Amino acid sequence: MAEKHTKKKCYTEAAMCLVHAAALVAEYLSMLEDHSYLPVGSVSFQNISSNVLEESAVSDDTLSPDEDGVCSGRYFTESGLVGLLEQAAELFSTGGLYETVNEVYKLVIPILEAHRDFRKLTSTHDKLQKAFDSIISKGHKRMFGTYFRVGFYGSKFGDLDEQEFVYKEPAITKLPEISHRLEGFYGQCFGAEFVEVIKDSAPVDKTKLDPNKFVLTPIEVAIEDMKKKTLQLAVAVNQEPPDAKMLQMVLQGCVGATVNQGPLEVAQVFLAEIPADPKLYRHHNKLRLCFKEFIMRCGEAVEKNKRLITADQREYQQELKKNYNKLKENLRPMIERKIPELYKPIFRVESQKRDSFHRSSFRKCETQLSQGS
């Protein structure tokens, strides 16, 4: 599986496969030997993979290390464990996850030190230095994959009916891009006239679907995504003590020249026109309000960054401000466009009669006062 991911240039996924393989080896070695320099089974890998404890199923009550044919490959040795971890570290580095490279080598170094393998220790520390240098130089400029949740609806999909999958795409993949690609792919498979793409995030009512069509819904969860971005901005702005690097990383991910097309594309897809179906009004308006708060938080973040930057970052701040203003202007027409039907008054007020009533009341009051005086 790691090889297949590597061929597809999914380096992080390939690295995770190797980490889980290494966790299995660590579980096996912990049954055979009790060396302090070895990982204590899969639990030692939790800083690298949150679900690696699934590999702890290999234990002495479910598997005998001496059983023929089991755990007998070349990787089930200390050198095999080191080899798997070194491969994982290289792939994490290629994928830009330099912080994780450090976590991997934390498991490798004690083994190399125990074996006094100074040649490999020299190489390992050299790679760590490169990883740390990359964090410093590329910290807020790294671009990772974009993820989309895609659901399939329609009995013609067979076992895929009502199933959802997460699609990983290259960084800065736009929502329309994956929508068109899916529509084109399944259109070729089943015929374009039989494929329909639902482009809103409302729950799918199967009773209203055409049974003769294949229905795709890229549930991009635009609303949830914008809420997440807005929350990240708010946290970064209000963090105490202020963390300039974290603020800039979040800000770059929202208004950076190479990424602000992401939010703009989502807005253009869902907010460019008022939906024809009244049932979508609420979702449309909710997303509009999300973008309104998002751009407000972006402005706050830009101003906060202005107060935190050093003298050599002024040009960077000007670029951020420029990108923010451009994004704000492009979003403005869509953010300000309200759906009239959602803002109709509950009852109609006859302003003319009300005014005449008040005027006559005042005249009557004035007359009574003058008579009383």
Number of Cα atoms under 13 Å in the Cβ half of residue 296? 10
User: Where do we find the tokens 């089930």?
Assistant: 76
Q: Which of 23, 19, 22, 1 is nearest to 10 (CA)?
A: 1
First to last CA, the chain: 99
CA distances from 247 to 98, 131, 213 (A): 19, 22, 46
State the DSSP code for 245.
H
284 contacts: CB under 8 Å, gap ≥ 6: 270, 271, 274, 275, 339
Reported pTM: 0.52
Number of C-beta neighbours around residue 54 at 10 A? 11
Rounded Cα gap, residues 38 and 41, in angstroms: 8
What are the mean pLDDT values of the chain's consecutive 10-residue runs (373 residues total)? 89 93 88 86 88 65 51 80 95 93 96 95 96 86 76 80 80 77 83 78 72 61 79 89 88 68 77 76 84 93 91 88 92 84 53 45 41 44
Rounded-to-integer distance, Cα 125 and Cα 90, Å = 13
Q: What angle do CA 259, 261, 266 make, to 5 degrees?
A: 120
Query: What does the DSSP assignment read for 33-96?
Result: ---TTS--GGGGGTTT-TTGGGGGG-STTT--TTSTTSS-STTSSHHHHHHHHHHHHHHHHHTT
Cα distance between residue 328 and residue 298, in whole Å: 9
Identify how many contiguous H helices and E strands the chain contains and give both numbers.
12, 4
In whole angstroms, what is the distance from residue 147 CA to residue 169 CA?
A: 6
How much is the CA Rg of the chain, to the nearest whole Å? 30
Residue 91 and residue 18 in contact, taking contact as beta carbons nearer than 8 Å = yes
Under 8 Å between Cβ of 81 and 23: no
Strand boundaries in the chain, DSSP class E = 146-153, 163-169, 195-197, 214-219
Domains located in the chain, CATH noted:
2-138 (1.25.40.410), 146-220 (no CATH), 223-343 (1.20.58.740)
Nearest to 98 by CA among 53, 141, 146: 141
Residues 44, 45, 50, 54, Cα dihedral to 10°:
-80
Output 356-365 pairs: Cβ under 8 A, ≥24 positions apart: none
> How far is the C-alpha of 329 from the C-alpha of 372, rounded, in Å?
62
Omega before 263 within 30 of 0, i.e. cis: no
Q: Are 247 and 304 in contact (CB under 8 A)?
A: yes
Q: Which of 14, 9, 4, 18 is nearest to 82 (CA)?
A: 18
The pLDDT of residue 201 is 61
Between CA 279 and CA 266 the distance in angstroms is 20
Amino acid in position 272:
A
Amino acid found at 182: L
